[in-house]
C-alpha cells in the first residue's frame, strides 16, 4: 500500500470513521462527521445503536472464549479500536488467545500496528484487506502464521456485511470464508436491518450515500441466510441488544432504536 492522502480517501466517508466519530473518537474527517451528523439528525438513536453493536461484540467474544472454548479469532471489519478491543476481551479469559484483525482503512491499520506493538499476551496480527476479497485474507501470511486452520476459529463479522449491497455477493464472500473454517468454528455477526424503523433508516441510508458510503439493510429472512448450514445458538437471530444481555437495562431500549440483528452459530 502506498503512502499519502489518496489511500486515506478523505473525500468520501468510511464506515469505521463514522463509527469512531459517533462513539466520541477523534480519528475521522470532515466527510465522516458530516455523514454522522446528517444521520443523527434523522435518527437520533444512532449513538445508542452503535454502542449496542460494540457491546454485542464484547458479549460475543466472552461467550465464545468462555463457553465455547474458542481461543483464536478472525475479526473482519475491525474498525478503529475502542477499548476494550476483541483481543482484550478474549485474552482476559484465555491469555494465549490469538486474533487476526482485518480492515481496509489505513487509519485502522495505523492503530492496529500500535495495538500489536503493545500486546503482551497471546498474539495479534492485522491484514489490510476487504471482506469482498476473502482470498487475500485467507491466503495472507498473517492469517496462516497466527491462526491454526485445523482448529476451531471464531469468525467475527460485526457491522460489516451491510457495506456490500448485492445480496448474492455478500452471501458468497461470507460462505467462502466459512467453508474453509474447520468443524466446531463459530460465526458471530451483526447485520443491518430497517425492519423496525424503515422510514427513518431510509433517510440514514440516503445520508450515507450522499457522503460516499454504502449501507444495505436486510430483512430478518435475508439476514438469516448468512447462517445457512450452521447451528444457531439460543436465542437465535434477534435484535442485537436482546442477544444474552448483561442486564435488563438493555431490554428497555426501544426496538426502533436498534437497526441490527445479531446471532452466533456453530459450524457442524
Residues 189, 262: contact at Cβ < 8 Å?
Answer: yes
| pLDDT tens-digit readout, 32-89 | 888 878 878 878 888 899 899 999 999 999 999 999 999 999 999 887 656 688 988 9
Find, among 89, 32, 81, 28, the residue nearest to 56 by Cα. Answer: 89
Q: How confident is the model at residue 117 (pLDDT cuts 50, 70, 90)?
A: low
| Of 119 and 230, the one with more pLDDT | 230
**CA separation for the pair 25, 16 (Å, rounded):** 11
Quote the pLDDT of residue 116: 59
Quote the pLDDT of residue 135: 96
Residues 129, 154: contact at Cβ < 8 Å?
Answer: no
Cβ atoms < 10 Å from Cβ of 2: 6
**CA separation for the pair 45, 27 (Å, rounded):** 22
Quote the pLDDT of residue 42: 78
Reported as half-sphere exposure (CB side, CA atoms, 13 A), residue 100 has a value of 23
| pLDDT tens-digit readout, 94-105 | 999 999 999 887
The answer on pLDDT for 3 being more than 70 is no
Residues 233, 268: contact at Cβ < 8 Å?
Answer: no
| Of 120 and 60, the one with more pLDDT | 60
User: How much is the average pLDDT of 144-153?
Assistant: 96
User: How much is the average pLDDT of 11-31?
Assistant: 77
Strand blocks (E) in the chain: 72-76, 98-103, 123-128, 154-158, 186-192, 231-232, 238-239, 260-266
Quote the pLDDT of residue 11: 76
Quote the pLDDT of residue 253: 95
Helices 46-66 and 15-22: angle between axes, nearest 10 degrees? 100
Quote the pLDDT of residue 41: 81
Residue identified by cell 479469532 is: 73
Domains of the chain with bracketed CATH: 5-266 (3.40.50.150)
Residues 114, 140: contact at Cβ < 8 Å?
Answer: no
Q: Quick one: cell of 250?
A: 438493555
Conformational region of residue 230, where left means phi above 0, alpha means psi within -120 to 50, and beta covers everything else: beta
Q: Quick one: cell of 104?
A: 481496509
**CA separation for the pair 258, 241 (Å, rounded):** 8
DSSP label at 5?
A: H
Residues in CB range of 96: below 8 A, 6 or more apart: 71, 121, 122
Q: Quick one: cell of 223?
A: 439476514
Amino acid at each position: 500500500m502506498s503512502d499519502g492522502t489518496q489511500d486515506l480517501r478523505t473525500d468520501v466517508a468510511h464506515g469505521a470513521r463514522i463509527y469512531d466519530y459517533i462513539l466520541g473518537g477523534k480519528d475521522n474527517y470532515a466527510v465522516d462527521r458530516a455523514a454522522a451528523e446528517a444521520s443523527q439528525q434523522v435518527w437520533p438513536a444512532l449513538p445508542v445503536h452503535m454502542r449496542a453493536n460494540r457491546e454485542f461484540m464484547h458479549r460475543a467474544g466472552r461467550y465464545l472464549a468462555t463457553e465455547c472454548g474458542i481461543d483464536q479469532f478472525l475479526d473482519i471489519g475491525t474498525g478503529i479500536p475502542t477499548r476494550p478491543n476483541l483481543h482484550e476481551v478474549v485474552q482476559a479469559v484465555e491469555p494465549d488467545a490469538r486474533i487476526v484483525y482485518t480492515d481496509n482503512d489505513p487509519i485502522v491499520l495505523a492503530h492496529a500496528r500500535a495495538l500489536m506493538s503493545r500486546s503482551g499476551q497471546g498474539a495479534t496480527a492485522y491484514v489490510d484487506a476487504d471482506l469482498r476479497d476473502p482470498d487475500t485474507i485467507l491466503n495472507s501470511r498473517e492469517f496462516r502464521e497466527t491462526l491454526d486452520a485445523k482448529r476451531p476459529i471464531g469468525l467475527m463479522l460485526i457491522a460489516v456485511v451491510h457495506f456490500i449491497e448485492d445480496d448474492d455477493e455478500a452471501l458468497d464472500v461470507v460462505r467462502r470464508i466459512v467453508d474453509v473454517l474447520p468443524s466446531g468454528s463459530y460465526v458471530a455477526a451483526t447485520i443491518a436491518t430497517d425492519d423496525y424503523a424503515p422510514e427513518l433508516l431510509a433517510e440514514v441510508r440516503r445520508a450515507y450515500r450522499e457522503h460516499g458510503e454504502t449501507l444495505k439493510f436486510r430483512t430478518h429472512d435475508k439476514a438469516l441466510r448468512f447462517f445457512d448450514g450452521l447451528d444457531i445458538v439460543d436465542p437465535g437471530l434477534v435484535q442485537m441488544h436482546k442477544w444474552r444481555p448483561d442486564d435488563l437495562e438493555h431490554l428497555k431500549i426501544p426496538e426502533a432504536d436498534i437497526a441490527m440483528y445479531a446471532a452466533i452459530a456453530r459450524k457442524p
